Structure 1
Amino acid sequence: MKELEQIKRIKALAEMGLVYAEDEYNRERYEELKQIALELMASVANQPLSILENFYMPVTDYPTPKVDVRGFVLNEKNQVLMAKESIDGKWTILRMGRSWLHSLNLCHKRNRGRNWAEHNCS
């Protein structure tokens, strides 16, 4: 629905303005614009405003897509290689950075249809 996309864009512009506003006057203007966008969204969605106000995470930096890709590695004993998270100290499977993803994508394209264990992607 085009109307909803436009409302979401207005909300995003207001949130970006709030992140970079340097004075109280601009902050108030962007807060009002964000509130108007939420009210329009509530109207289009036929939902109470209170639900939408609590639905979205607060924006603290420039809103960009956040991608988190994880994978696991097995050793010869079929044990999973784990990594300790720096944030909370808990164990997790590996988080793959952008360079890993690019390498895996190239490897996948070169070896499409083959068993993963049959080829070396380095």
Structure 2
Amino acid sequence: MNRAEIAYQVSLTMDGDTSGFDLDAILDDLAEAGVTGSVDDIDFDTYWEIVNRHDIGAQAEEEAEKAHAAYLEAEAARNEAIVARQVAFARAVDTMGRGGQTILANKFGLSAPTVKAIADRGREILAGRENSK
């Protein structure tokens, strides 16, 4: 049999839908495994191991899962950094006293109202921590 006929047999084993698979790679591996006449030339488990190895849909799904997990990790780190910044601004402004907002605003290139808003949120967080003790 030729490659096209074996490709047809492979597609039949997948109910005609090979769109999520690298068909050329499957055919290459089958040829390497000695399939020359029919997909029946190879045992069932080996055949499906070859097919599953080239399941690009599953590979893409796995990549998406890993990317989403990395995103969630980064988002959690970002949220931690935001809280740490808010608390640090609150402590700095409160420690520096009058003019602390202006000093931080100039140092970080922010407006004084922005620094105040960040520090106010930090004070809320600190108060919440105190209340939960």
Could you tell me the TM-score, scaled by structure 1's length? 0.23
Larger Rg: 2
Could you tell me the TM-score, scaled by structure 2's length? 0.22
More helix by share: 2
More strand by share: 1
